[in-house]
Structure 1
């Protein structure tokens, strides 16, 4: 694998791990409803309104990096080497096959079969 493909693979893995972390840090739409009844703490690291914008924008940016890296890896994996010619040009020519020579001086025995007439 080339160094460029290895670098793209590392970027893809890091962006995937970053996305997983950012998605797990975000709270769902129903989290505010639970906090209203006293079952949870609505405060967060970035504040009540700022966290949604920062985390969602960061997740979107990492998703874009992930998809670009995925497309680059797919392109590199599908790239074909430059052909130097036809496949048939690289195959050596097969030697001509000839039938074995029959020696006419060797007598052959007559075949004995059902349709032969006995000699009188």
Structure 2
């Protein structure tokens, strides 16, 4: 089961990278190069969310869910619960004058 979640996690990660790189920036038009917003709307020229932004949102949600799932599964799979559980503790004596 862990290997399946890792495979889904890696595929979603690569897909998320591709989708983010394909998106057009908010001020990607010619007016954005000179500081203008490109239209006279209050919040800029961005309209309704298109397919790429919806895919980005869903990929991010799946990425976070698989990350949390992998963390929980690996915590249950490991026998120790602390990183420092098996280390030796040493005590130091104060310096002599």
TM-score (normalised: structure 2): 0.59
Q: 2:9 aligns with which of 9, 12, 19?
A: 12
Q: Name the structure 2 match of 1:74.
A: 71
RMSD: 2.9
Structure possessing the higher radius of gyration over alpha carbons: 1
Alignment partners' CA distance in 1, 2:20 and 2:8: 18
Task: Count residues with an aligned counterpart.
Answer: 68
Q: How does 1:1-120 map to 2 (within 5 A)?
A: 4-33=1-30, 52-79=49-76
Alignment partners' CA distance in 2, 1:36 and 1:64: 32
TM-score (normalised: structure 1): 0.48
Please give the per-residue CA displacement for 1:12-68, whole angstroms capped at 9, x wherever unaligned: 00000000000000011121235899xxxxxxxxxxx89x51000001111111111
For structure 2, list consecutive stretches of 5 or more residues without a partner in the other structure.
35-45, 80-97
For structure 1, list consecutive stretches of 5 or more residues without a partner in the other structure.
38-48, 83-120
Alignment partners' CA distance in 2, 1:25 and 1:59: 10
